[in-house]
């Protein structure tokens, strides 16, 4: 599955980091799952 990591600077991305799903509306008919950094 391909997705985006949002709400995160490129320098902060690490392999194995915790993420959580968020849903971003795209237009009136679509909502896409994306990921943001998870809470520690």
- DSSP states along 7-24: SS-GGG--TT--EEEEEE
pLDDT higher than threshold 80 for residue 40: no
In total, how many domains does the chain have?
1
Confidence of residue 29 (pLDDT cuts 50, 70, 90): very high
Q: What is the mean pLDDT of the chain?
A: 94
What is residue 39's predicted lDDT score, i.e. its pLDDT?
87
- Compute the average pLDDT of residues 4-30: 95
Q: Is the pLDDT of residue 2 over 90?
A: no
**Rounded Cα gap, residues 31 and 18, in angstroms:** 22
Domain of residue 21 covers 1-40
């Amino acid at each position: 599955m391909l997705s985006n990591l949002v709400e995160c600077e490129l320098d902060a991305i690490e392999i194995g980091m915790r993420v959580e799903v968020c849903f971003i509306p795209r237009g009136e008919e679509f909502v896409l799952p994306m990921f943001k950094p998870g809470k520690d």
